[in-house]
């Protein structure tokens, strides 16, 4: 039985108007819902910019809780490309065989630990540690650092009672200030040292720029990966036969990963600020207002995906936008894909059955739409 479905929250609005407006801290957002419009709008950075006031393109807006610009995602071309090229090679390291085997060892160990038959809480005691431990490989810093990050919980700007938590954000900021300081006198083979030494427009990066890149590295791949891992568990608890199918046909893992990213769409949307009066999906959009690219809606567009509300793990054509689209496409995508692939591989090799016992859904509620992004908690039992 489908106990853990992820419904399409936008079907009617996408078919009827293609645009859905939400209120967000007196700075409304016109969400772009159709796959074609999302891609077109993402391409057009001159009219729909990312380099606005820091925090404004995020929904909910973070302008009231931070001043630091996250780089490269809050920067437009041509500077965007210059920043991105400094770190692109580093973010391709997850494709190396050595990185893959380190991940596999880590995730195999995590899965072995839950196989004793006792129920566990997946979000905090399984997905969060896996995400944080894997992040040590992306930064290439000591494994033990993950213990600190785990203590911050599932999101760096949100806590259970506050969606925009300044105190929490400051934990990360202070931590990064210390780390940048530390590595400036102890250079090594890590991401901090790389950033401290690169040359950008004939100079070194400033502390603030380095921090902006690191905040994004910590924040962007956190709740998104945690939700993707938990949701995958939820899916296999409903469809154990699909896990068996993958066990018999591990070559299905890459298409299964893409399909989960499409179906779960861990990031609902990302905003842009409009630089001149424009029109999207027949709707007039005024200068200096906000639009958003709704990845979650585009990924269920039936003019692009056949049976969009079904998980088809061997889906052939899958032009999903779960990692964004165009020049701002997710820099951490290689890492995220490897984590998910390794995770599914470990589950399929080691687990026969996942029993969902109890859970609390995490619903984004914007009044005009409600969307399930994952779980606040998920109790489950794993049988070897």
* Tokens coding 263: 């179906």
* Tokens coding 234: 């939820």
Q: Which is nearer to ligand EMZ, 103 or 214 (CB)?
A: 214
Query: Is 275 in contact with 44 (CB distance < 8 Å)?
Result: no
Q: Is 373 in the site for ligand EMZ (CB under 6 A)?
A: no
| Pairing relationship of beta strands 48-49 and 270-274 according to DSSP bridges | antiparallel
Q: Which is nearer to ligand EMZ, 327 or 350 (CB)?
A: 327
Query: Is 313 in contact with 320 (CB distance < 8 Å)?
Result: no
Q: Is 57 in the site for ligand EMZ (CB under 6 A)?
A: no
* Strand intervals (E) in the chain: 19-22, 29-32, 48-49, 120-121, 199-200, 203-204, 270-274, 278-280, 283-285, 290-293, 353-365, 370-383
Q: Count residues binding ligand EMZ (CB under 6 A).
A: 9
For tokens 């770190």, the residue is 87
Let me know if 225 is exposed, middle or buried by CB neighbors in 10 A (0-12, 13-18, 19+).
buried
Q: Is 157 in the site for ligand EMZ (CB under 6 A)?
A: yes
Distance of alpha carbon 14 from alpha carbon 35, whole angstroms:
9
Nearest approach in angstroms of CB 77 to ligand EMZ is: 18
* Binding mask of the shown chain, residues 78 to 107, with x at each position contacting ligand EMZ by CB under 6 A: ------------------------------
Q: Is 131 in the site for ligand EMZ (CB under 6 A)?
A: no
* Strand intervals (E) in 87-164: 120-121
* Tokens coding 149: 């990050």
Q: Is 29 in the site for ligand EMZ (CB under 6 A)?
A: no
Q: Is 62 in the site for ligand EMZ (CB under 6 A)?
A: yes
Q: Is 219 in the site for ligand EMZ (CB under 6 A)?
A: yes
Question: Which of 213, 216, 291, 311 forms a contact with ligand EMZ (CB under 6 A)?
Answer: 216
* Binding mask of the shown chain, residues 241 to 270, with x at each position contacting ligand EMZ by CB under 6 A: --------------------------x---
* Binding mask of the shown chain, residues 170 to 199, with x at each position contacting ligand EMZ by CB under 6 A: ------------------------------
* Binding mask of the shown chain, residues 291 to 330, with x at each position contacting ligand EMZ by CB under 6 A: ----------------------------------------
Distance of alpha carbon 92 from alpha carbon 100, whole angstroms:
12
**In the complex, which residues of this chain contact ligand EMZ (CB under 6 A)?**
58, 62, 70, 157, 216, 219-220, 223, 267
């Amino acid at each position: 039985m489908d106990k853990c479905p992820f419904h399409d929250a936008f079907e009617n609005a996408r078919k009827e108007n293609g645009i859905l407006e939400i209120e967000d801290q007196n700075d409304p957002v016109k969400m772009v819902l159709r796959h074609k419009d999302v891609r077109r709008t993402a391409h057009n950075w001159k009219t729909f910019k990312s380099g606005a006031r820091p925090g404004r393109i995020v929904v909910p807006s973070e302008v009231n809780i931070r001043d630091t610009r996250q780089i490269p995602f809050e920067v437009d071309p041509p500077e965007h490309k210059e920043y991105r090229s400094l770190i692109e090679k580093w973010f391709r390291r997850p494709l190396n065989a050595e990185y893959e085997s380190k991940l596999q060892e880590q995730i195999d160990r995590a899965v072995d630990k839950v196989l004793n038959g006792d129920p566990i809480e997946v979000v905090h005691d399984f997905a969060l540690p896996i995400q944080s431990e894997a992040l040590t490989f992306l930064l290439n810093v000591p494994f033990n650092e993950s213990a600190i990050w785990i203590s911050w919980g599932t999101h760096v700007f949100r806590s259970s009672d506050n969606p925009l938590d300044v105190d929490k954000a400051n934990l990360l900021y202070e931590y990064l200030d210390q780390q940048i300081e530390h590595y400036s006198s102890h250079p090594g083979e890590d991401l901090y040292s790389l950033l401290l030494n690169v040359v950008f427009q004939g100079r070194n990066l400033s502390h603030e720029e380095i921090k902006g890149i690191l905040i994004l590295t910590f924040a962007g791949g956190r709740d998104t990966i945690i939700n993707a891992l938990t949701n995958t568990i939820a899916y296999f608890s409903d469809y154990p036969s699909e896990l068996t199918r993958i066990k018999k046909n591990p070559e299905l893992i890459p298409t299964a990963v893409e399909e989960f990213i499409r179906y779960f769409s861990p990031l609902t949307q990302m905003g842009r600020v409009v630089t001149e009066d424009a029109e999207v999906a027949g709707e007039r959009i005024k200068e200096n207002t906000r639009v958003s690219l709704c990845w979650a809606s585009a990924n269920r567009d039936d003019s692009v995906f056949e049976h969009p509300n079904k998980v088809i793990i061997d889906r052939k054509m899958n032009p999903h936008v779960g990692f964004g689209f165009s020049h701002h496409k997710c820099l951490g995508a290689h890492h995220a894909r490897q984590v998910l692939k390794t995770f599914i591989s470990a589950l399929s090799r080691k687990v026969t059955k996942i029993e969902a016992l109890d859970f609390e859904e995490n619903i984004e509620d914007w009044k005009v739409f409600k969307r399930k992004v994952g779980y606040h908690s998920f109790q489950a039992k794993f049988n070897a």
